[in-house]
Amino acid sequence: MRPLPILLTAMILTGEDFAEAQQSKANYDESLAGSYTLPGLLTRADGSVVKTAEDWQKHRRPEILALYQQHVYGRVPEGLGAPAFSVKSVKTDALGGKATRKLIQITLPSCPAWEGMELMLYTPNGLNRPAPCFAGLSFGGNHAVSTETDVPISTRWMRPSKEKHIVDNRATEASRGNESSRWPLEMILSRGFAVATAYYGDIEPDHAEGWKDGLRGLTSPAGAATRWKEGEWGAISAWAWGLSRILDYLETDRDVDAKHCAVIGHSRLGKTSLWAGAQDERFAFVISNNSGEGGAALMRRNFGETTAVITRAFTHWFTTTYKNYAGNEAACPVDQHFLVALAAPRPIHIGSAVEDQWADPKGEFLSGYHASPVYELFGKLGTGVSEQPAIDTPVGHSIGYHVRTGGHDVKDYDWEQYMTFAEKHWR
């Protein structure tokens, strides 16, 4: 008899389920990570070698940016136009008087069908100067980031989660504050930083067909009938576009020092923050937390999640070209140290977790290490070390790195490293 139940199981393992099923099969043995040759970071398309910061900025950086647009994340289409901002509410005694909270609607006049995104901005009270800011996207919405009960609950589509009290793909009252441990607002505000967040699903719902109801589908001339071509944007590019629109607003807010704004993201949103920071040089500091495959981890290492797994489970994140490198990583013209290097000469910090082997912590460190020569062109030191440091022992100069105790999450320890790094570079 044919093993029908097994066949049916294989058929339904897509997205999160497929990725989870592959974790137990992944390689976690460093001796089996494989040998590989990285593409030349400082070798231009014409074969010449970059020797100056000017040559990097003028020639090699645009080449690499174009390679990522063509082969990995896709290019944001031209002509989307400028966003519009509407401040919906201001609460001057937020968090027991420690902060002012603003809720701002960001829309796109050229695409009225898109509902826009709700930006939540907390600025510390009593600072007497514009506050430097951390800007990022959340997984659960503003009501999940904040514990304040007057923050409106998001009505957008959300990934199913019994643990986070998502019912029929919608948030519930019980889901308030379920992401607040990843966004320790009072801790951040007490150090003099502002925090700006928006729900990534406001830009595009995170599932294979989510683009049809999100920005990509609504701005495409063909709408839901679109057939995405090589080099056209995936969801990560759409989410990164949203991060830049947040910065557009922050530049208009006199309570924020937008010239000192860090872009931060965790996991898939860590991939997004890296790509946003690469494209938008207005971000003064780039932070990747547990971003793994397709983020800070070297793709050519056979460790943890692989290109084959991520391009099958999350096809919608990338441009269609990227799947060509599943099991064929050596053919890709970039590796992720290129992405880290695109932040230069701005500071960048990569955070790993020792129990998050799926994200390949060593591969994340190696991207920072191999990006260091670009920082040296600017007279700056990169990681400053050639070996991955011990657990809970942060390293780095212009490229920061730490691997902490624990698993795939954002902890206070991570925030302590990011804030300290920001203070070091922005003092």
Residues annotated as part of the active site: 267, 408
| Among 349, 297, 355, 299, residue whose Cα is nearest residue 324 | 299
Residues linked to residue 49 through DSSP beta bridges, in sequence order: 43
Distance, C-alpha 154 to centroid of its chain: 21
CA separation for the pair 50, 382 (Å, rounded): 17
For residue 62, what are the contacts with CB-CB under 8 A and spacing of at least 6?
Answer: none
